[in-house]
Amino acid sequence: MSENIIKEDIIFNNCYTGTDFENKTLDLLRLAGFTAKKIGGANDGGIDIIASMNIQGIKYSYCIQCKYHNKTLAKAPVQEAYTGAAFYDSIGKPVVITNNSVTFNARLYAKKVGVEIIADSEWNEIKKACISKKALKQHTGLMGIIISSAIKNPEYARHAIATEQEHIPPELSEKEKCRLQLQSDFDMAEEYLKEAERLQQKAMKNQRMAFERQKKAILANLDYG
């Protein structure tokens, strides 16, 4: 693991274009200890960056699509990342990294097809980890490795990739099927909680805007009177 400390503003500081975002993402991945390279071009298969890291003698790779948008992302980038990883013979797990939010349906779809998402809520958690040097909870995949670098905790990284080492046999016992179903239910519940939190934040923002408009209208009416 890298001994460098990820700075909380590395992705968004002086970032104005899609190319800036790709380069900043590349910087972050390298700072986190990845060997990463840009693919790009007309024949990139929907993948912008391929990043890999050896942990305990095992190589973990990620096929990343970067999306620098001024609006919420829907399912299309998830589909592109999924097919893009297949284009590169599934050498890495597909990941969508964006500066913006992702719709609830797109997140559920990503869960089903095995595409990891790092978007607005994930960046907020990474920033908090960078500042506090503590993780709010255990994450898996690329998100988990990035946080482990931010908090300088290799053990966290080992837990992050533990689930990716698991081999699921073709014939599952009833107990194993139940365990997988429970895990799926918990994952879905987590997405619902994330969506509820995003909606609450949006509602609070709208309430503040409504209050400001009411205040402005009252003051204007007093001046008019």
Sheet holding 49-55, edge to edge: 35-38, 49-55, 58-67, 93-98, 116-118
The number of helices, as runs of H, and strands, as runs of E, in the chain is 8, 5
**DSSP 8-state code for residue 133:** S
67 pLDDT higher than 90:
yes
Range of weakest confidence among 42-51, 96-105, 136-145: 42-51
172 pLDDT higher than 50:
no
User: How many whole angstroms separate alpha carbon 117 and alpha carbon 97?
Assistant: 6
Q: Which residues, other chains included, contact 52 with Cβ-Cβ below 8 Å and sequence gap of 6+?
A: 34, 35, 36, 59, 60, 61, 62, 92
166 pLDDT higher than 60:
no
pTM for this one? 0.72
Q: What is the mean pLDDT of the chain?
A: 83
Burial of 38 (C-beta count, 10 Å sphere; 0-12/13-18/19+)? middle
- pLDDT tens digits, one per residue of 174-221: 765 566 566 656 666 777 777 788 778 878 888 888 888 888 888 777
Q: What is the SS3 assignment for 54? A: strand
Report the pLDDT averaged over residues 165-169.
42
- pLDDT tens digits, one per residue of 150-159: 898 888 888 8
